[in-house]
Amino acid sequence: MPRIDPEIVALTNTTGYPPPHDQAVAHRWVRRLGPALGLTDFGVSHVVLKPGGASSQRHWHEDEDEFVVMLAGEAVLVENDARTLMRSGDMAVFPKGEPNGHHLLNESDDDCAFLAFGRPPSGDCHYPDIDLLWTDGGYRRKDRSSF
């Protein structure tokens, strides 16, 4: 199996979130390893959160399983009813269809890094804290109107 150097994949902090929801991830930097390295059945992203950064808006997927492995530093996993400190080596799983909105926040003074595994969702993704819904391949308001 070939050894992977994540540095060969471009680091970006772009997002598809419409304003003002994009500001939450302004301190998130991602290397989308899966597509760049030829994976087609699932995706893998190497994510770095700068201090104050969020991995995403708090969300859950109807049809995408997610799996996260912390590599360095620490982040707080925020779920519907819990906040859990995650450190290097810790893992978290988010089964599809389970309405447990989640994201990671870097509340420390240092960068943190993790790997996120999943696949591009084809079904809806829900954002319980804000007026946002991923549906039919794009972002809409919860009433399904456009931004």
Q: Which domain holds residue 65?
A: 26-122
Residue 18 in any domain: the answer is: no
* The predicted structure's pLDDT at residue 120: 78
In a domain, 132, yes or no: no
Nearest to 24 by CA among 44, 60, 61, 49: 49
Element (H, E) at 36: helix 33-36
In a domain, 57, yes or no: yes
Residue 2's pLDDT is 80
Whether 12 is covered by a domain: the verdict is no
Give the least confident one: 4-8, 25-29, 142-146. 4-8
Check pLDDT > 80 for residue 26. yes
Condensed to tens digits (0 to 9), the pLDDT of residues 38-96 reads 999 999 999 999 999 999 999 999 999 999 999 999 999 999 999 999 999 999 999 99
* Residue 84 counted as domain residue: yes
Q: Is residue 147 part of a domain?
A: no
Query: Residues 91-128: pLDDT tens digits?
Result: 999 999 999 999 999 999 999 999 999 987 789 999 99
Beta strands in the chain (DSSP E): 28-32, 43-49, 60-61, 66-72, 74-78, 83-87, 91-94, 103-105, 112-118, 125-127, 132-135, 138-140
Residue 56 resides in a domain: yes
Q: How many structural domains are present in the chain?
A: 1
Note the pTM of the prediction, 2 decimals: 0.94
In a domain, residue 10? The reply is no
Q: What is the CATH number of the domain that holds 90?
A: 2.60.120.10
Neighbours of 81 (CB within 10 A): 5
pLDDT score for 54: 98
Nearest to 78 by CA among 129, 30, 117, 118: 129
